[in-house]
A and B are shown apart, each in its own frame.
Chain A
Amino acid sequence: MPSLKELVKRESRFVSGHRLCGGCGAGIVMRLVLLAIDKPVIASCATGCVEVATTIFPYSAWKIPWVHSAFENSASTISGVEAAYRVFKREGKIDKEIVFVAFGGDGGTHDIGLQALSGAAERNHNVLYVCYNNQAYMNTGIQRSGATPKYAHTTTSPVGKVIPGKIQWQKNLVEIMVAHGIPYAATSIPGRWNDLVSKVEKAVKIEGFKYIEVLSPCRLGWPHEPELTLEISRLAVETCIWPLYEVVEGKYRLTYKPKEKKPVIEWFKLQGRFRHLLLPENAHLLEEIQKEVDRRWEELLKKCES
């Protein structure tokens, strides 16, 4: 893996001038993913924050060939690109190695794009899919998604007098992807650059479909102070809400273990969407989440040990 010094010397292929918010996690994710790959890249991107903020015609923040077609089909669009490459390669029309990356937010990946993602994974295209998961439909103004955590306030799962935010658990898409039998699946965060870079580096060397889901703090939607983006992503790991692990050919490995597991409230108290959970009358909700986070963490540890 390159050192940070070496990494910053590489030419950035996701460049300034885009209109993502100050403190947006997704921009950091895009830049790190591309920095981690030392080959030509072609990327597809789902409709969403990253797409609308980085390609306002006639400008583009991408110094790679890049394509966006719709919301739910980043995976099937890149499938077509990769298939075209395979035939051109076979025909001797191109000899360069190209890495194919698909980007999508949690809406475009967990919800509306799940079918296309599943199909591309099942067909095992030689593609790295990176989901920047900011846990809601942030581009349309903070609506709940299948990835929104339980009891989070969003504009379509508002905290009200009788309902305390989103009442369902978020889906665990990494496990769904593991169940597809793909050769590589992992979680990551922008706050540990070396974790993300090493996982991307590792993934692109593997033939077949790879899936990395990166927790991407959203200062407007969560909301949090913009300077806390990286710290909040790290706190999600320290509280075991967002464990860092990878699954290579079905084998689980924890890639980072917190020295001291922090209570979930440490993560919640920095974000407006969980403000109501800090009220004394909602202590039981907080406890419910802590219990479930503990259970999932233990379950993951067992998988990693076996």
Chain B
Amino acid sequence: MGIKVVKTGNEAFAEGMRQINPDVVAAYPITPQTEIVQIFSQFVADGRVKTEFIQVESEHSAMSACIGASCAGARAMTGTSSQGLAYMWEMLYIASGLRLPIIMAVVNRALSSPINIHCDHSDTFGARDSGWIQIYSENVQETYDNLIQGVRIAEHPEVRLPCMIMTDGFILSHCLETMEMLTDEEVREFVGEPPERGNLIKAVVENKPITIGALDLQDYYFEHKRQQAEGMKNALKVIPEVGKEFGDKFGRYYGMVENYKLDDADIGVVVIGSTAGTAKEAVDKLRSRGIKAGLLKIRVFRPLPVVDIKESLKNLKVVGVMDRVEGMNAFCGPLYSEICACLYELEKRPILTNFVYGLGGRDVKVEDIELIFNELLRVLEKGVKEYTLKYIGVRE
């Protein structure tokens, strides 16, 4: 079994990568992801991994090289943050369109401008339609566990899609936490050898040439996109399966979402990432005052776990959706829109309000979440909401 260690989110990512022992890693440094690249470089320099590490000249080339490697049949990984992810944008769609199970560790950081190095989710939320599976982490343990599960999910023959694993910049990436690390053998056994798929090297070995990345016009493009969408749909089934297998083996179970004290709750918040930990604290405080509060943590945002979200929230009266990103649509945050869409078909829906918080690393304290719950309580009393969106912790 695993051993208790103290690691930062970045260290957990790097250790996980070492244990997965990918064929190719192509990466470029960017704050706050840099440490992952540094630590992994040392693993390569010390011969602790078999990996070919390509020290690319940009994130665009990082993803391009991962695509090349994956097309050659390699298990390929990278990591980035913020501007680096933005710079990869074009290639994200190509990785998913070519159905390449590339794994990317993303340390969430706000997008410029203004330039900022701290956490919010504007980087990966912008990539929500890129065809990548997106798994978010609440703490360092989950960061590590999600990375290992990500390999199995991405490579599953019915999924075959790239997968990004998120951790919150600085809040998790640079903070030490006690966590349980699996042994190298446990990880290697769990991820196993990648299932075989057609690739360039295999084409040489078998002397059967293949063309990857052909021009797809009006007569085929739509069918290929439809197949890709099916892969994402299949991920809805595969992710909890992998989460259960992981739990059976190592004792930590994972689903698409996590319900915290929601069963009898009247009010609740929907949250992603490290803020879930803070918000659980707030829920406990409210519960101690006899208020039926709860929390829904979205672990997997792509594919969107519609059924789980509906099931979790259907009996609530008032729900506050917390977006760590500003949607810039003069209406609401992106998570709020999606939660609304999930609940629309329910006959009896909770009243939904939206809270945008923590942009550019603005600290979120237990009191801030309590403030949100107080807002929800007011709506509960009045039976009607006065606004759709409220900003938390901003000076205005």
Neighbouring B residues of A88 by C-beta, 8 Å: 23, 72-74, 201
Bitwise, B55-94 to A at CB < 8 A (1) or not (0) is 1111011001111111111101000000000000011001
**Beta-carbon contact of B60 and A56 below 8 Å:** no
B1 contacts the other chain (CB 8 A): no
**Beta-carbon contact of A79 and B200 below 8 Å:** no
Neighbouring A residues of B61 by C-beta, 8 Å: 73, 75-76, 79, 115-116, 119-120
A231 contacts the other chain (CB 8 A): no
Most chain-A Cβ atoms within 10 A of its Cβ — which of B55, B212, B215? Answer: B215
Given A56-B214, A87-B23, the answer on whether A81 and B57 have CB atoms closer than 8 Å is: no
**CA A88 – CA B50 in complex, angstroms?**
10
**Beta-carbon contact of B52 and A69 below 8 Å:** no
Q: State which of A52, A57, A72, A80 has its C-beta within 8 Å of the C-beta of B68.
A: A80
Interface 9-mer from A58-66, A145-153, A154-162:
A58-66
Neighbouring A residues of B26 by C-beta, 8 Å: 76, 79-80, 83
**Beta-carbon contact of B23 and A84 below 8 Å:** yes
Bitwise, B17-52 to A at CB < 8 A (1) or not (0) is 000000110100000000000000000000000111
Q: State which of A13, A62, A84, A123 has its C-beta within 8 Å of the C-beta of B24.
A: A84
B220 contacts the other chain (CB 8 A): yes
Q: State which of A40, A69, A115 has its C-beta within 8 Å of the C-beta of B204.
A: A40
Q: State which of B91, B200, B217 has its C-beta within 8 Å of the C-beta of A73.
A: B91
Within 8 A of A (CB), among B324-375: none
Neighbouring B residues of A52 by C-beta, 8 Å: 215
A5 contacts the other chain (CB 8 A): no
Within 8 A of A (CB), among B100-151: none
A9 contacts the other chain (CB 8 A): no
**CA A185 – CA B108 in complex, angstroms?**
42
B6 contacts the other chain (CB 8 A): no
**Beta-carbon contact of A57 and B200 below 8 Å:** no
**Beta-carbon contact of B64 and A76 below 8 Å:** yes
Q: State which of B56, B209, B220 has its C-beta within 8 Å of the C-beta of A57.
A: B220
Given A56-B214, A118-B57, the answer on whether A80 and B65 have CB atoms closer than 8 Å is: yes
Neighbouring B residues of A63 by C-beta, 8 Å: 209
Within 8 A of B (CB), among A61-109: 62-70, 72-73, 75-88, 90-91, 94, 96, 98
B394 contacts the other chain (CB 8 A): no
Closest Cβ neighbor of A125 among chain B residues: B54
Return B104 CB to nearest CB of chain A, in Å.
14
**Beta-carbon contact of A56 and B201 below 8 Å:** no
Count the A residues whose beta carbon is within 8 Å of the partner chain — how many? Answer: 48
Neighbouring A residues of B265 by C-beta, 8 Å: none
**CA A85 – CA B23 in complex, angstroms?**
9
Most chain-B Cβ atoms within 10 A of its Cβ — which of A70, A78, A86, A118? Answer: A70
Neighbouring A residues of B67 by C-beta, 8 Å: 69, 77, 80
**Beta-carbon contact of A55 and B23 below 8 Å:** no
Main secondary structure of the interface of B (DSSP, over half): mixed
A42 contacts the other chain (CB 8 A): yes
A51 contacts the other chain (CB 8 A): yes
**CA A122 – CA B213 in complex, angstroms?**
26
Q: State which of A51, A58, A67, A83 has its C-beta within 8 Å of the C-beta of B220.
A: A58
B216 contacts the other chain (CB 8 A): yes
Neighbouring B residues of A82 by C-beta, 8 Å: 68
A44 contacts the other chain (CB 8 A): yes
Given A60-B214, A80-B69, A86-B52, the answer on whether A65 and B58 have CB atoms closer than 8 Å is: no
Of the four ranges (under 10, 10 to 19, 20 to 34, 35 or more), the interface on chain B belongs to 35 or more
B384 contacts the other chain (CB 8 A): no
Bitwise, B195-222 to A at CB < 8 A (1) or not (0) is 0000011011100011111111100100
Neighbouring A residues of B98 by C-beta, 8 Å: 69
**Beta-carbon contact of A77 and B215 below 8 Å:** no
Neighbouring A residues of B74 by C-beta, 8 Å: 80, 83-84, 87-88
**Beta-carbon contact of A81 and B69 below 8 Å:** yes
**CA A42 – CA B205 in complex, angstroms?**
11
**CA A102 – CA B216 in complex, angstroms?**
21
**Beta-carbon contact of A84 and B204 below 8 Å:** no
Given A77-B65, A81-B72, A119-B61, the answer on whether A62 and B209 have CB atoms closer than 8 Å is: yes
Return A61 CB to nearest CB of chain B, in Å.
9
**CA A83 – CA B50 in complex, angstroms?**
12
**Beta-carbon contact of A57 and B23 below 8 Å:** no
Given A67-B200, A91-B50, the answer on whether A56 and B217 have CB atoms closer than 8 Å is: yes
Return B275 CB to nearest CB of chain A, in Å.
36
Neighbouring B residues of A77 by C-beta, 8 Å: 64-65, 67-68, 71
**CA A79 – CA B24 in complex, angstroms?**
11
Return A111 CB to nearest CB of chain B, in Å.
14
**Beta-carbon contact of A57 and B24 below 8 Å:** no
Neighbouring A residues of B205 by C-beta, 8 Å: 94, 96
Return B195 CB to nearest CB of chain A, in Å.
15
Within 8 A of B (CB), among A10-65: 13, 40, 42, 44, 51-52, 55-58, 60, 62-65
Q: State which of B58, B69, B214 has its C-beta within 8 Å of the C-beta of A115.
A: B58
Closest Cβ neighbor of B55 among chain A residues: A123
Return A58 CB to nearest CB of chain B, in Å.
7
**Beta-carbon contact of B201 and A84 below 8 Å:** yes
**Beta-carbon contact of A65 and B23 below 8 Å:** no
Given A77-B67, A81-B71, the answer on whether A72 and B204 have CB atoms closer than 8 Å is: no
Neighbouring A residues of B214 by C-beta, 8 Å: 55-58, 60, 68
**Beta-carbon contact of B213 and A69 below 8 Å:** yes
Q: What would 13 A/B residue contacts be, using CB atoms closer than 8 Å?
A: A40-B204, A62-B211, A66-B210, A66-B212, A69-B71, A70-B91, A79-B61, A80-B76, A84-B68, A88-B73, A96-B204, A115-B61, A123-B55
Q: A76-B68, A87-B74 are in contact. List 9 more A-B contacts (CB 8 A).
A: A56-B215, A63-B209, A65-B200, A68-B212, A77-B65, A81-B68, A86-B52, A98-B204, A123-B54
Shortest 10 CB-CB contacts between residues of A and residues of B: A80-B68, A119-B57, A80-B65, A84-B72, A76-B61, A68-B213, A80-B69, A84-B74, A73-B64, A76-B64
